[in-house]
Amino acid sequence: MLTSSPFPPSPFPPGSVALVGAGPGDPELLTLKALHRLQQAEVIVYDNLVAPEILAFAPSTAERIYVGKAAGNHTLPQEDISQLLLELARAGRRVVRLKGGDPFVFGRGGEEMEVLLENGIAVDIVPGITAALGAAAAFGFPLTHRDHAQSCVFVTGHLKDHTIDLNWAALAQPNQTVVIYMGVKGLEIISERLQAAGLPGDTPAALIYKATWPQQRIYPSRLDHLPQTAREFAVKPPTLLVIGSVVGLLDKEKVHTGI
């Protein structure tokens, strides 16, 4: 396991917070700066999508505080997490806020950053590989391709007020890849609304569970069959939804059909 590098870490002052992206799960996809911040941390506030192997990079003396969120089960409300980060930094500690994927891609990192900056706390942003990039690499298909998709859109299927009120017309454009985070519970609506907006029902799609983790699975489907596919294989969160013809390029040898 890599625990050091030939590059010296940049300063991490006491009383500051590093918002660190842990990547999609595979510890080898962690960035060098993220590794440095973990090794410098005095306290780590982490989510449920962070692999245990990544936490192991931190010193044994670093305090670890779990604040994970799962559907219908939040260890701490978001406001309390932001307050916790503020209190830890005010106590003069080097705080790593460790998030799965990238802290600024549907990770609420922006909300936490706002609270900290408003209270005079220095914030260091360490980007991570977001789930969409990890999923595409893990299963051997591109998100953009000259013959298939000239654009790629990331959207969330779980809005703050628990609705799925998206710009369906914009998402149903041809030659585009649509990646929907946290969309498993809304598959019926997503499938119906995209078709109503003009996206053909036979558009290739896939449900990808825990990409880059040992338990990763992909369930190829098509837009109009997505709800049926999810029911057939009992697909559960955390699952990413990818819609577009690029899905047809996936590495067939990497397809799994059971959890």
236 included as an active-site residue: no
> How far apart, in Å, are the Cα atoms of 255 and each of 45, 98, 195?
34, 30, 26
Catalytic status, residue 185: no
Other C-beta atoms within 10 Å of 156: how many? 15
- Residue 15's CB is within 10 A of a number of other CB atoms, namely 15
Q: Looking at 47, 99, 102, 210, which residue is catalytic?
A: 47
Phi, psi values for residue 97, rounded to 5°? -95, 105
Tokens representing residue 249 in the block: 């390029």
CB 66 within 8 A of CB 46: yes
- Residue 129 backbone dihedrals phi, psi, to 5 degrees: -70, 120
Element at 139 (helix H, strand E): none
Tokens of 17: 């917070």
Pair 251, 141: CB distance under 8 Å: yes
Task: For residue 237, say if its preceding peptide bond is cis, omega within 30 degrees of 0.
Answer: no
- Taking residue 246's Cβ as centre, other Cβ atoms within 10 Å add up to 22
Contact call for residues 240 and 179 (beta carbons, < 8 A): yes
Q: How far is CA 151 from the centre of its chain?
A: 20
By annotation, the residues acting in catalysis are 47, 69
